[in-house]
Amino acid sequence: MDNPATPRILHFMKHDSDVVIVGGGLNGPALALALAQGGLSVTIVDALPLDTRKDDTFDGRSYALALASQKLLSALGIWNEIADHAQPILKVAASDGHAGEGPAPFFLEFDHAEIEEGPMGFMIEDRYLRRAFLDAVMAEDRVAHLSGETVVAQDVQPGGVTVTLQSGKTVSARVLIGCDGKRSGTAERAGISRTGWEYGQTALVCAIEHEKPHEGTAHQFFMPAGPLAILPLPGNRSSIVWSETTDQAAAIQAMDDDSYLAALRPRFGDFLGEIKLAGARFTYPLSLSLANAFVSDRLALVGDAAHGVHPIAGQGLNLGLRDVAALAEVMVDAHRRGEEIGAIDVLERYQTWRRWDTATLAAATDGFNRLFSNDNPLLRGVRDIGMGVVNAMPGLRRRFIREAAGLNGELPRLMKGRPI
């Protein structure tokens, strides 16, 4: 047969693994496990050294896991390892507050008894979650873990993608996934621009021990400078996420522990009795940062790399895990039907699935924050009445609870607790 000369675009090379994930935080290992369980091989490139990841002293950081995220951890086989350390959130109480005045009369309360699935979520300390992921990743044959390595270059070709590490090592794969946070180098090197802004607010984060039991209740007080969340940890301990203007937060963070506690105490009153610090203190400047695309040729962005949202509703990790579940499902389904997992039309299915959800949540939390972080008496009146109304309407309340638990929208199967 006549066979016209054809251009040789690229000679195929055997890839080191199917997927290379940049970022060893929580989303990276979660995605690696999900993909490996779906039959794909993965290399994780983690900038932090292994010892830092393994450190299990309590540093004060913790996460509010939505129920759907907990189901994903169950499906991945992680939950059993951390269940003993998790505190169920049985009730959420939100109220308008003014320093020294206590809660406003209209009080929004959500109780897990109003949805059938169980607790609304769980509080888990970072050290346990991080360690469980690391152990699971280390035990998984299909995952290679490179610690203390940063990416200096990435090169996308028609047949695959190669990343070059600082050590000079290269890793080739069919797809590159950036789980490398708000300032994602993966996105930047791919030329994906971002949209976002600063809020002029900073979250102060710490853990406290308190005299009286919290009874599994998460409190959210809407203060003029920003929200204050008190989230229950196992025992008589709680995690505090406390937003102030950036200048004020810097001043508070600079105080010694006694003055810090003295600043914190009047902000939520004395319903938990005496309080003292139970870990280190952190600050996180609040900003919104959305990548203008979640995918490009042979590349996808997950978690904060795609969308760093305002953490007001504690949805950052939950949104990230939802990305993980959606991307893993898209890629594993494609793999099982024989499609090229790095093809743009495959990756675009993930973008279509996640982008709308993310944009609406980012807009909602942004609007929520602007409404609530305000001392205008008229707005205070509006939100107090609004809370009273939501409180009085069971249907709307159920929707709020289900949304907070991550149970609304088209859920990936991992988030229903089903295997990949």
Partner 1 sequence: MQAVETTVDAAEVAKFEAMAAEWWDPNGKFKPLHMLNPCRLDYITSQIAAEFDRDLTGPLPFTGLRLLDIGCGGGLLAEPMARLGATVVGADAAAGNIPVAQVHAEQSGLTIDYRHTTAEALAEAGEQFDIVLNMEVVEHVADPLAYLTACQQLLKPGGLMICSTINRNPKSFMMAIVGAEWVMRWLPKGTHEWHKFITPDELFALIGNAGLDPVDRKGFVFNPVAWTWSLSDRDLSVNYVTASVKASA
Q: Which residues bind partner 1 (CB under 8 A)?
A: 1-4, 6-14, 38-39, 158-159, 333-334, 336-340, 343-345, 348
Q: Which is nearer to partner 1, 13 or 139 (CB)?
A: 13
Closest contact distance (angstroms) between CB of 419 and partner 1 is 9
- CA 264, distance to chain mean position in Å, is 26
Residue 12 CB, shortest distance to partner 1, in Å, is 4
Structure tokens at 80: 């059993």
Report d(CA 327, CA 66) in Å as an integer: 19
89, with CB counted inside 10 A (0-12, 13-18, 19+), is buried
The amino acid at 309: V
CB nearer partner 1, residue 207 or residue 420: 420
Q: Alpha-carbon distance 385 to 398, whole Å?
A: 18
333 vs 357, which CB is nearer to partner 1?
A: 333
Q: Is 354 helix (H, G, I), strand (E, B) or coil?
A: helix
> C-beta of 123: minimal distance to partner 1 in Å?
34
Q: State which residue, 1 or 254, has the beta carbon closest to partner 1.
A: 1
Cβ distance to partner 1 smaller for residue 14 or 256: 14
CA distances from 108 to 87, 206, 389 (A): 21, 24, 9
For residues 64 and 218, the answer to whether their CB atoms sit within 8 Å is yes
Mode of pairing for the β-strands spanning 87-89 and 226-233: unpaired
Supply the DSSP symbol for 44. Answer: E
Q: How far is the CB of 155 from partner 1 (least distance, A)?
A: 15
Are 223 and 77 in contact by the 8 Å Cβ rule? The answer is no
The pair of structure tokens assigned to 6 is: 């054809």
Name which of 13 and 138 has its Cβ closer to partner 1: 13
Q: What is the distance between the alpha carbons of residues 20 and 25, in angstroms, rounded to a whole number?
A: 14
| Between 59 and 348, CB nearer to partner 1 | 348
Q: Which alpha helices (H) appear in 152-276, and where do they start and end? A: 185-189, 246-254, 257-268
Rank residues 335 and 397 by Cβ distance to partner 1 and give the closer one: 335
- Least gap, CB of 36 to partner 1 (angstroms): 12
Instruction: Rank residues 340 and 366 by Cβ distance to partner 1 and give the closer one.
Output: 340
**How far apart are the C-alpha atoms of 236 and 233, rounded to whole Å?**
7
In whole angstroms, the minimum distance from the beta carbon of 74 to partner 1 comes to 19
Q: How far is the CB of 331 from partner 1 (least distance, A)?
A: 12
Which of residues 179 and 346 has its CB atom nearest to partner 1 in the complex?
A: 346
The dihedral built from the CA positions of residue 265, 268, 273 and 276, taken in this order, carries a sign that is: negative
Residue identified by tokens 């994780």 is 44
User: Could you tell me the two tokens for 151?
Assistant: 């990416």
Provide, rounded to whole angstroms, the least separation between the CB of residue 385 and partner 1: 36
* Apex 123 CA angle, 325 and 60, nearest 5: 110
Shortest gap between Cβ of 348 and partner 1 (angstroms)?
8
Report, in angstroms and rounded to the nearest whole number, the Rg of the chain calculated over CA atoms.
23
Taking the complex as a whole, the smallest distance from the CB of residue 266 to partner 1 amounts, in Å, to 52
Side chain identity at 226, as an amino acid letter? G
| Least distance between partner 1 and beta carbon 174 (Å) | 9
Distance (Å, whole) CA 44 – CA 146: 6
Who contacts 328 (Cβ-Cβ below 8 Å, separation ≥6)? 31, 34, 35, 38, 412, 414, 420
Q: Which is nearer to partner 1, 39 or 49 (CB)?
A: 39
